[in-house]
Amino acid sequence: MALLYDAVLRPSKSELIAAWAPTQTWFVGDVGAEVERVASFRFDDPDGGVGIETILVRFGTGPLLQIPLTYRGAPLEGGGNELVGTMSHSVLGDRWVYDATGDPVYLAAVAAAALTGGQQADQFTQGNGELIPVAPTATVRGSGTPGTPVPERAATIDTVSTAGTTIATAGALRVTVVRVLDGTSSRALATNAATVLGTWAEQSQPQLLLTVGVSPD
């Protein structure tokens, strides 16, 4: 379950993305254009300490981009290269925002979803002491089977970005995130790995978002 706050963010998520995304090797779009937020979805951190959100955005006339982020109440140890920026949250205080492909909590969450057939977290707000459901703007689901073992989190993460993907290797896990959602990168990925597919308002057919492979012992 993801609890959404009625909060003021400074800078906003869109402002952080607008400054950071164009500096990445996988970026495609109109630099300086207003960021169009198309959809988003979240996964749960079982420990409850890290926010995990993927935002689908477009810069001007460019293709749709997948931006997975994690939100932390303190810096991620060893995560300096993955830092997108910091922001002030009017409810939670200072937040450190990271490119989630370098965050072990995100990798564990998407691996669990892909390998066990999980889906995005249900979202709620609070009002009058009650939880109020928030309708999702994207629906995602893994291809795996419930009960499939998920490797433990690894202490070290290696990430490599190409023109359309980011590949994160952490111990036995290899997570490939499709950054540019134009179908080109998706067709090039191996099909024997577990997958997470998604749909949203402008994408009625399931779109490949990421793959998860597990190396044999």
Q: pLDDT for 47-79, tens place per residue? A: 989 999 999 999 999 999 999 999 999 999 998
Q: Is the pLDDT of residue 146 over 60?
A: yes
pLDDT, tens digit (0-9, with 9 covering 90-100), for 11-41: 999 999 999 999 999 999 999 999 999 999 9
Residue 35 confidence (pLDDT): 96
Average per-residue pLDDT for the chain = 92
Instruction: Provide the edge-to-edge strand list for the sheet that holds 2-3.
Output: 2-3, 123-127, 130-134
Q: How far apart are CA 207 and CA 178, in angstroms?
A: 10
Residue 113 confidence (pLDDT): 98
Q: Which range among 11-25, 34-48, 104-118, 190-204 shows the weakest confidence by mean pLDDT?
A: 190-204
Q: How confident is the model at residue 92 (pLDDT cuts 50, 70, 90)?
A: confident
Q: Is the pLDDT of residue 93 over 90?
A: no
Residue 187 confidence (pLDDT): 61
Q: Is the pLDDT of residue 172 over 90?
A: yes
Instruction: Provide the edge-to-edge strand list for the sheet that holds 194-200.
Output: 138-142, 194-200, 203-214, 173-178, 165-170, 158-161
The number of domains in the chain is 1
Q: Which range among 16-20, 107-111, 137-141, 153-157 shows the weakest confidence by mean pLDDT?
A: 153-157
Which residues constitute the domain of residue 37?
2-214
Using CB atoms within 10 Å of the CB of residue 203, give its burial: 0 to 12 exposed, 13 to 18 middle, 19+ buried.
middle
Q: Is the pLDDT of residue 190 over 60?
A: no
The model's pTM is 0.94
